[in-house]
Amino acid sequence: MPQPDLTPTAAPCAREQPNAAPRARVRPHTTPTTPAAPGDGEHATGDNGERTPAPTPRNPYLRLFAAPGARAFTAGNLIARLPMGMFGVSAVIMIAAAYDSYALAGAVTATGTAAGALTAPWIARLVDRYGQARIAVPATAYAVLGQLVLLLCVHAKAPAWALFATAALTATSPNTGGMSRARWAHLFRGDRDALHTANAFEQAVDELCFMLGPVVAALVCSTLFPEAGTLVAATLFLGGVLVFAAQRSTEPPIAPRTAAGSPLRVPGMVPLLAVFLATGAVFGSMEVVALAYVDGPAAGPVLALQAAGSCAAGLLFGRAHRTARLSTCLAAMAVLMTLPLLAASTGSLLALAAGLLVAGMATAPTMVTGMGMVQRLTPASQLNEGMTLAVTALLGGIAAGSATGGWTADHAPSPTFGFLIPVAAASLALTVCATTVGTRRSPR
């Protein structure tokens, strides 16, 4: 499952915002008293005493992190984002251990997810209007407080209704991935290649966190005590956001409000969100049907290979100098999603693992391309809100795909049948994109 500027196919309505700040390429900071090493983006001092620019690193990721403050805010965001893959698993383990009911555990975590999906765009709108640090810190503190109250309720074996009510209190978590992408967009305005690399890096981080988060949560809960996963995740979340928010030099300035209203009113945004919705169904259904097919301790590692493939593909995609159309990425996803279906029909677990690894390689390019389109369609004053709407649509698709995949796993005549759902969802996303979203490549 996947919270990482391509130059994908731009929607016909994409345009520059008249009130947006000028997009200037960020140049690395220079230190007059300290000679720079070649390739670090600093200025070196020549024999004649004049400072000459050092060679630009060939690696696009080294160029990315040569920007002043990039490493600091990325480190804080990484710490804050890892718990996003921990909270759900930790809550399931914690509640199931106390109440001996996975049904209750799943329902409570689903309640928290649904509440978060509803509130996330409003939190993002406040971030756009008042700034990241001013909103993200209190919103995170409130969400962490909700997690701790949930932990105490579970420890005291409170009535089930109290767990549902408490889970809703955690819905103020800000979109940490969206805020990080907004900083890259601010730092590298006018530099398509650098923003492309930044978005690819962010998507790889998303995959890495959702791959490592559940493993860390399960390890902590089993090694210490059932509530330890939630406690560790809450600590990391609050600490990471505090470190991230403290990096004020890279925080995007508050842009003037426009008369556009909600980003949903921007032409082309709703069809693009429909594509995200269908794409989320691919992820949600694949996760459930793969878990149901394997049905054992090997299910987690096998499913993690899909995230690993996406993470690797995202990093490679970030090094590419050419961009892709969203429709091309979705077509590749629709084709590659047939590999797990074919592998499952053989009955070989190794074949399924390989199929998921290769199929996952279509995820990151698709998500990076789609997020790049969201960034260009959304007014600068509403960037966080626009990206959060995309994440909300993705989460809605994941929920729908999970429900459909679960029903199919219980009622289909064959476990292999469930792997048709991700193929169908990817084909639907491609159809929606081809018929409603512009497919013209942006000029280079």
In a domain, 53, yes or no: no
pLDDT of residue 56: 59
Mean pLDDT across the stretch 29-43?
39
Number of domains in the chain: 1
For residue 25, being part of any structural domain is answered with no
pLDDT at 34: 35
The C-alpha R_g of the chain, in whole angstroms, comes to 22
Is residue 269 in some structural domain?
A: yes
Between 90-94, 144-148, 211-215, 221-225, the lowest mean confidence (pLDDT) is in 211-215
Q: Which of 322-326, 360-364, 406-410 has the highest mean pLDDT?
A: 360-364
Mapped to the 3 state alphabet, what secondary structure does 68-83 carry? CCHHHHHHHHHHHHHH
| pLDDT tops 50 at residue 16 | no
Mean pLDDT within 52-63: 66
Q: Does position 354 have pLDDT exceeding 50, yes or no?
A: yes
pLDDT at 91: 85
Residue 183's domain spans which residues?
9-13+69-253+265-441
Does 135 reside within a domain?
Answer: yes
Tell me the C-alpha distance between 128 and 377, whole Å. Answer: 16
pLDDT at 444 over 60: no
Position 30 scores a pLDDT of 39
Overall average pLDDT of the 373-391 stretch: 79
**Which tens digit of pLDDT belongs to each residue from 240-261?**
999 999 988 888 887 666 555 6
Each residue's pLDDT tens digit, 145-178: 999 999 999 999 999 899 988 888 888 888 888 8
pLDDT value, residue 55: 55
pLDDT recorded at residue 255: 67
Judging by beta carbons within 10 Å of its beta carbon (0-12, 13-18, 19+), is residue 238 exposed, middle or buried?
A: buried
The answer to whether position 39 is within a domain reads no
DSSP string, 301-368: HHHHHHHHHHHHHHHHHHH-SS---HHHHHHHHHHHTHHHHHHHHHT-HHHHHHHHHHHGGGHHHHHH
Rounded Cα distance, 77 and 319, in Å: 22
Could you report the per-residue pLDDT of 106-137, keeping only the tens digit for each?
A: 778 778 877 887 888 888 888 888 888 889 99
Specify the range with the lowest mean pLDDT, choosing from 51-65, 73-87, 313-327: 51-65
Confidence band (pLDDT; 50, 70, 90) for 297? low
Q: What is the pLDDT of residue 27?
A: 40
- Distance (Å, whole) CA 429 – CA 185: 26
Mean of the pLDDT values across residues 426-440?
81
pLDDT band per the 50, 70, 90 thresholds, residue 11: very low
Q: What does the pLDDT average to over 43-58?
A: 52
Which letter does DSSP use for residue 7 in this model? -
Task: CATH number of the domain at 171, please.
Answer: 1.20.1250.20
| Most confidently modeled range among 48-57, 76-85, 293-302 | 76-85
Question: Residue 27 domain-assigned?
Answer: no
| Across 255-264, 309-318, 405-414, 425-434, least confident range | 255-264
Assigned domain for 137 exists = yes
The pLDDT of 348-360, averaged and rounded, is 90
Residue 233 pLDDT grade (very low, low, confident, very high; cuts 50, 70, 90): very high
Average of per-residue pLDDT across 284-290? 81
DSSP 384-443: HHHHHHHHHHHHHHHHHHHHHHHHHHHHSSSGGGGGHHHHHHHHHHHHHHHHHS--EEPP
Q: What does the alpha-carbon distance between residue 334 and residue 285 come to, in Å, rounded to a whole number?
A: 14
Residue 175 counted as domain residue:
yes
The whole-number pLDDT of residue 25 equals: 40
- Decide which of 350 and 206 is more confident: 350
Q: What is the mean pLDDT of residues 19-28?
A: 40
**Does position 239 have pLDDT exceeding 90, yes or no?**
yes
Answer yes or no: is pLDDT of 96 > 70.
Answer: yes
- Whether the pTM exceeds 0.75: the reply is no
- Rounded CA-CA distance 422/237 in Å is 32
Mean local confidence (pLDDT), 85-100: 83
Give the C-alpha distances (Å, rounded to integers) separating 261 from 45, 222, 294, 378.
Answer: 51, 48, 47, 11
Residue 49, pLDDT above cutoff 60: no
Phi, psi of 45 (to 5 degrees): -100, 125
Q: What is the pLDDT of residue 321?
A: 58
Distance CA(346)–CA(9), nearest Å, equals: 37
> Which of the given ranges, 25-29, 225-229, 231-235, has the highest pLDDT on average?
231-235
Mean predicted confidence (pLDDT) in 299-317? 78
Look at 257 and 63; give whichever has higher pLDDT.
Answer: 63
* Per-residue model confidence (pLDDT) at position 394: 85
Average pLDDT rounded to a whole number, residues 358-373: 86
Which pLDDT score is estimated for 28?
A: 41
Report pLDDT for 57: 63
